[in-house]
Amino acid sequence: MRKILIVLNGTAGGKKSVGVVTATQELFGKSNTLLALPDDKEELLESAPGAVVLFSGFDAACAEIIPALRASGAKIAVYWHYASGTEVDSDIGANALSLRKELARGTIDLFISCRRYMAELFGKLYGVPSYWIMNNTRVVAYKGGDKIGVGNYAGTSYWVKNGSSQFDAASLMGMPIDLVPMTPGLEEKALLNGVQDLVTGVKNGIPHEEFLERMAEREIVLYCTYSEAAPMIPLEALNQETLVITGPAHDYWLPMPGLTLEEEAAGAFLREKLVVNEVDNPMAIADKALAALKEREAILENYRTWKRGYDRIQERNIQELLRRLMNL
């Protein structure tokens, strides 16, 4: 039986993503040995002969070590966490270019994406076997108590995903605003928007456990981004009975084979109530959020119904991925 070595996040040169780390741990378990380049390069090379090396995330350091890994007889897979539109970010774009070069060279044996179209796209562009993996979370951190206000959150210490429009939307809602990260630009905008007395937050990224605790205390979270693969925040929020407004750029709540009619109808309800198409329009975001708050109980009940079916299908999905990895 082949070993699967998980190389986490391609750490050299880029900003570490909380979403990448947590998605990997949720799928493959925190008990797995998660290696990181360049720190664990020697350990990886020693363990690689005959193994499957799964890069979760990718960058130039991953590309540099591929020739040695292939020479050892290892098979190479990449679990890519981004959509093509996210490549406008400088770090993600540079890492995506490194990945695309390796795909074009034929050095990657299996491409895995948590966005369905990305698996299909790279399969067509580069002729590589590809697989759509369904991200999931089993976070159940909500312990009861009052929920207060609206959350605006990024998984890093900087904003690239529509933080400005989301903050303007939160400013229109007349609710306390929890902001992570609370950057100087958004602090100044709070003054200009007249909501400085409503804003709390922290200036830098925070540990994931603290992030979950803050999110559990909110009534609703705004996560309306231009380009996504399978963001963890929508599932993490709803699992804690915190509502979330998203853009349409993800595969959650869509019809899929294996859902019952009841589960599919619940997904359609969630798509209607929680997805805003005008992600650059703060007024549309605020209106959608305020309307969702009025239907909180119905939304949470439909989420529980949909999630039951999603969990069932996702368990088969991850088992099929593991089978494919073992058979490379």
The CATH-assigned architecture of domain 150-311 is 3-Layer(aba) Sandwich (3.40)
The answer to whether 53 and 67 have CB atoms below 8 angstroms apart is no
Rounded Cα gap, residues 328 and 95, in angstroms: 24
Rounded Cα gap, residues 112 and 26, in angstroms: 15
Q: CB under 8 Å to 216, separation ≥6 — which residues?
A: 141, 142, 143, 147, 240, 241, 242
What pLDDT score does 225 carry?
A: 84
The answer to whether 179 and 169 have CB atoms below 8 angstroms apart is no
Report which of 226, 228, 188, 181 is spatially closest to residue 205, judged by C-alpha positions. Answer: 181
Rounded Cα gap, residues 5 and 67, in angstroms: 16
What pLDDT score does 145 carry?
A: 75
What pLDDT score does 39 carry?
A: 65
Calculate the CA dihedral of residues 142, 145, 146, 147 and round it to 10 degrees. Answer: 0
H, E, C per residue of the chain = CCCEEEEECCCCCCCCCHHHHHHHHHHHCCCCCEECCCCCHHHHHHHCCCCEEEEECCCHHHHHHHHHHHHCCCEEEEEECCCHHHHHCHHHHHHHHHHHHHHHHCCCCEEEECCHHHHHHHHHHHCCCEEECCCCCCCCCCCCCCCCCEEEECCCCCCCCCHHHHHHHHHHCCCCEEEECCCHHHHHHHHHHCCHHHEEECCCCCCHHHHHHHHHCCCEEEECCCCCCCCCHHHHHHHCCCEEEECCCCCCCCCCCCCCHHHHHHHHHHHHHHECCCCCCHHHHHHHHHHHHHCHHHHHHHHHHHHHHHHHHHHHHHHHHHHHHHCC
What pLDDT score does 125 carry?
A: 97
The answer to whether 274 and 243 have CB atoms below 8 angstroms apart is yes
Question: How much is the pTM?
Answer: 0.91
Environment class of residue 287 by beta-carbon count within 10 Å: exposed (0-12), middle (13-18) or buried (19+)? middle
What pLDDT score does 11 carry?
A: 46
**Cα dist. 140→3, 114, 143 in Å?**
31, 22, 8
The answer to whether 200 and 207 have CB atoms below 8 angstroms apart is no
Rounded Cα gap, residues 117 and 97, in angstroms: 18
Q: What is the pLDDT along the chain (328 residues), one digit of tens a residue?
A: 688 888 876 544 445 667 787 888 888 875 455 665 556 788 889 889 999 999 998 888 889 999 999 999 999 999 998 888 777 666 788 888 999 999 999 999 999 999 999 999 999 999 999 999 999 887 776 666 789 999 999 866 667 667 889 999 999 999 999 999 898 999 999 999 999 999 999 988 788 888 889 999 999 999 998 878 888 899 999 999 999 999 998 999 999 999 999 999 999 999 999 999 999 999 999 999 999 999 999 999 999 999 999 999 999 999 999 999 999 9
Rounded Cα gap, residues 68 and 65, in angstroms: 6
